[in-house]
Structure 1
Amino acid sequence: MTPTSPPPAAPPATNSLFPVFLKLEQFNVLLVGGGNVGLEKLSAILRNSPATAVTVVAPLILPELRALAARHPRVQLHARLYADDDLDDRDFVFVATDDPALNRHIKATTAGRRILTNVADTPEECDFYLSSVVQKGDLKVAISTNGKSPTVGKRLRAVLEETLPGELHTLLQNMTVIRQRLKGDFGQKIKSLNAVTAELAYGPAYESPATAYWRRIATGALVTFALFILVNILSYYFTWQQAWDVFGNSGLFYKFVAVGFIAQLIDGMLGMGYGVVSAISLMSLGLSPVSVSASIHTAEMFASGASGYNHYRFGNVNKKLFRVLLLPGIAGSISGALLLTYFGEQYAGYIKPVLAVYLLILGLRIVSKAIRKQQEKRRKVKHAGWLAGAGGFLDSFGGGGWGPLVTSTLITNGRTPRFVIGTVSLVEFFVTFASALTFFSILGIKHWQIVAGLIVGGVAAAPIAAKLAGRIPTRWMFLGVGLMVIVWSLWALRKLF
């Protein structure tokens, strides 16, 4: 008989805590201690379960703790010494005093009464620990270090707070709706969910047919228009001697490259600013307003194409919002270009000041939201298609305004800046493409030296800007967008003063 081998030894347990989420509002909680540690414990309780009944007992209570308790009617304060009678009818006890002997006494008493207790800064005396919590709407992630290092838990929480997007709350709501709408047997529901989540799980290699279709259209349109302009330049304006003169002309070409790089870096991170930054920079180099305007409109199409592609690549695009904005934006852009071509720029001068005043107000609102600690509740954007149509029209007819108008309006309504900027940047390529193609078909292209420099700099900056847009904290993105809108508005209003 062959002896049986002993079963493999179980790996040593490094953290045997059992994770659980409590409905703490259904229990009675006692907090002993009214100092800084007590304030920290009470803040953690109320931040996660604001309706919890908490009784605080301490001879001295901090004013900050009193102010916190005043905002929660189920918190009771007793400025006196602890007594064992305070444990009556308690389900959980938090001990946060600076008296070790008192802490041990309370723990011994609660153990005899089988009351779960947490003793601050004494892991061996705790029946449970408080975790570092990351919350995004209905999603809540708790982090435990088994009481070894709260600092590590706080740092991990900060990383996850920055990494996990605020849109996760919307995702959970959408998944609930999807689950309710799925029909068929269990196997069919699994297949449907796999189709919905394949791109999220495996990336662009498993993208849906609709996504692949729009990606091919964007790539084909960009390449086609690039070849179109290249052939025109070669046929009418370009000679080898001209090219040599441009690249060897005392660094002037590289100044245009630098202008394009800086303008696209700002535009890619904030969803606006390409036009105003380019215009201010080029005019400071002594160029005429006519050459500046023509050059920016042509080069911006390439820069926005590169920017939109990289925002899509880094996951900054909301596809539903993209579909809503696309066709109205294109229609508005074409109509604005045609009206400007046939009726002249004097009519555009009447519209831009009105737009500038509206955007100045929006910019101030966005900056105020960035400064305030609490952001306004997200509101549904009504008539987003009309907003895109107006943005496309003003961008062509008024010489700019797509980014400031559309981006700032969507962000003011509480949408996440990262996804607004990425989506508006991608739609901007199609809007600018339609505008540039209309202008090009009627007027041709001029000032190609400036255009070439802006294109080189803009394309180089696009991936950097798209990457940064996903890493900048939301508050700073609000502040940057608001300041850029204010700058754009003041620049547009400069002639009135």
Structure 2
Amino acid sequence: MPSLILLALVGLAAQLVDGSLGMAYGVTSSTLLLAIGTNPAAASATVHLAEIGTTLASGISHWRFKNVDWKVVLKIGVPGAVGAFLGATVLSNLSTEAATPVMSLILLGLGVYLLVRFTLFGLRTDRQHLPLRKRFLAPLGVFAGFVDATGGGGWGPVGTPALLASGRLEPRKVIGSIDTSEFLVSLAASLGFILAIGSQGIDFAWVLALLIGGVIAAPFAAWLVRHVPPRVLGSAVGGVIVLTNVRTLIRSDWIGLKNTPAEGLILAVIAVIWVGAIVWSVRAYRADQAAARAEAVPAVDDEQKTAAPAV
């Protein structure tokens, strides 16, 4: 029973982060399952089965808060389902550990871009009127879905920064659309795992525990993402991506600093920089709001003077 409660709490925390930042449910949950000895295919299958319910709840919540662009959901979600099914089949037959550092390096680059872009320059709005093309979303969906199934998580870490970096969709709708489309990805990945390995190694009590925690958190996360300023949200997302992928890289065979003092020091420095970036973004957002209010006051005064009758 204590382990089930822990899993439920992990599911709740992971969904709260995932629903508000557009990533982390699969990565967080899979990491815990792997840490207690679950084999990779069974761990990914367990997480994706739970995500069928959590992503459905998250999608409904984001829809109610008007955080979803349904055209984007379909254009990226259907190809993502294809990639997830293929990824589940591949993971059931071989290990993809060698590709992990390469993937982390790519994601790290995107994370650094987002962190710098949103922290120093704020939200790019000059491209938001432009549509997200299918020729961009379809390959991205296949790639992100494949990574998600083979890595036990990755739909958000790949999809969210790519859409944010495009500048064509406001952050809350990026997160809402990615979270909603993940339902299709989770469904396809689960089907792929069940066809490949059956129910071998899957503990359905664990699935239920993760599901319950995630469903409870979904509405709160959807509300939160609507009220966090886009500039702050972008800095927060960028920091999560940088921190998690640096951790993956320094623990890989490329660097080999796992469980060393150097690992802790590097991650601590990045965490401090991340917190500083969020504080900077909050202050910049408040300054922009104050400047906008100051500009609005003279405009109102001018209108009142114009409307006042001559004496």
Q: Tell me, yes or no, whether TM beats 0.5.
A: yes
Is the contact made by 2:48 and 2:187 (CA closer than 8 Å) also made in structure 1?
no
Shift of 1:295: 2.6
Distance in 2 between residues matched to 1:337 and 1:270, nearest whole Å: 25
Identity level (%): 35
Shift of 1:442: 2.8
1:311-354 per-position Cα deviation (integer Å, ceiling 9, x unaligned): 1121110122122112211111112222222x312xx2232221
Q: Pick from 407, 426, 430: which aligns with 2:160? A: 407
Is the contact made by 2:27 and 2:154 (CA closer than 8 Å) also made in structure 1?
no
Structure having the higher Rg = 1
Is the contact made by 2:61 and 2:219 (CA closer than 8 Å) also made in structure 1?
yes
> Is 1:378 aligned to 2:127, yes or no?
yes
Q: What are the within-5 Å matches in structure 2 for residues 155-174 of structure 1? A: none
Is the contact made by 2:44 and 2:150 (CA closer than 8 Å) also made in structure 1?
no
Is the contact made by 1:273 and 1:488 (CA closer than 8 Å) also made in structure 2?
no
Q: What are the within-5 Å matches in structure 2 for residues 128-207 of structure 1? A: none
The AA in structure 1 aligned to 2:244 is W
- What is the match of residue 237 of structure 2? 481
The AA in structure 1 aligned to 2:187 is F
RMSD: 2.0
> Is 1:420 aligned to 2:174, yes or no?
yes
C-alpha distance 374-484 of structure 1, shift in aligned 2 (>3 A): closer
TM-score (norm 2): 0.72
Worse overlay, 392-401 or 358-367 = 392-401
1:445-470 per-position Cα deviation (integer Å, ceiling 9, x unaligned): 32222222111101111111111111
Shift of 1:490: 2.7
Q: Pick from 118, 138, 142: which aligns with 1:389? A: 142
- What is the match of residue 287 of structure 1? 36
The AA in structure 2 aligned to 1:270 is L
Is the contact made by 1:333 and 1:394 (CA closer than 8 Å) also made in structure 2?
yes
The AA in structure 1 aligned to 2:116 is S
C-alpha distance 361-322 of structure 1, shift in aligned 2 (>3 A): same
The AA in structure 2 aligned to 1:339 is V
Distance in 2 between residues matched to 1:319 and 1:297, nearest whole Å: 22
Is the contact made by 2:27 and 2:152 (CA closer than 8 Å) also made in structure 1?
no
Worse overlay, 442-451 or 305-314 = 442-451
Distance in 2 between residues matched to 1:364 and 1:267, nearest whole Å: 19
Distance in 2 between residues matched to 1:281 and 1:308, nearest whole Å: 24
Distance in 2 between residues matched to 1:439 and 1:281, nearest whole Å: 19
Distance in 2 between residues matched to 1:386 and 1:304, nearest whole Å: 22
Unmatched 5+ stretches in structure 1? 1-248
Q: RCO greater where, 1 or 2, for CA within 8 Å and sep 6 or more?
A: 2
Shift of 1:491: 4.0
Distance in 1 between residues matched to 2:61 and 2:122, nearest whole Å: 31
C-alpha distance 487-303 of structure 1, shift in aligned 2 (>3 A): farther
- What is the match of residue 56 of structure 2? 305
Distance in 2 between residues matched to 1:495 and 1:294, nearest whole Å: 24
> Is 1:327 aligned to 2:78, yes or no?
yes
C-alpha distance 258-372 of structure 1, shift in aligned 2 (>3 A): same
The AA in structure 1 aligned to 2:205 is Q
> Is 1:495 aligned to 2:252, yes or no?
yes
Is the contact made by 2:111 and 2:238 (CA closer than 8 Å) also made in structure 1?
yes
- What is the match of residue 143 of structure 1? none
Distance in 2 between residues matched to 1:411 and 1:328, nearest whole Å: 19
Distance in 2 between residues matched to 1:495 and 1:318, nearest whole Å: 37
> Is 1:441 aligned to 2:198, yes or no?
no
Shift of 1:280: 4.2
Helix, strand or coil at the partner of 1:378: coil
The AA in structure 2 aligned to 1:352 is T
Is the contact made by 1:325 and 1:384 (CA closer than 8 Å) also made in structure 2?
yes
Is the contact made by 1:259 and 1:282 (CA closer than 8 Å) also made in structure 2?
no
Distance in 2 between residues matched to 1:424 and 1:333, nearest whole Å: 14
C-alpha distance 294-411 of structure 1, shift in aligned 2 (>3 A): same
Shift of 1:378: 2.9
Distance in 1 between residues matched to 2:195 and 2:244, nearest whole Å: 29
1:252-310 per-position Cα deviation (integer Å, ceiling 9, x unaligned): 32111111000000000011011222244456xx6114264443232222211211121
- What is the match of residue 132 of structure 1? none
Shift of 1:398: 3.4
The AA in structure 1 aligned to 2:5 is Y
1:215-262 per-position Cα deviation (integer Å, ceiling 9, x unaligned): xxxxxxxxxxxxxxxxxxxxxxxxxxxxxxxxxx3x332111111000
1:5-25 per-position Cα deviation (integer Å, ceiling 9, x unaligned): xxxxxxxxxxxxxxxxxxxxx
Unmatched 5+ stretches in structure 2? 257-311
> Is 1:368 aligned to 2:116, yes or no?
yes
C-alpha distance 469-389 of structure 1, shift in aligned 2 (>3 A): same
Distance in 1 between residues matched to 2:73 and 2:208, nearest whole Å: 29
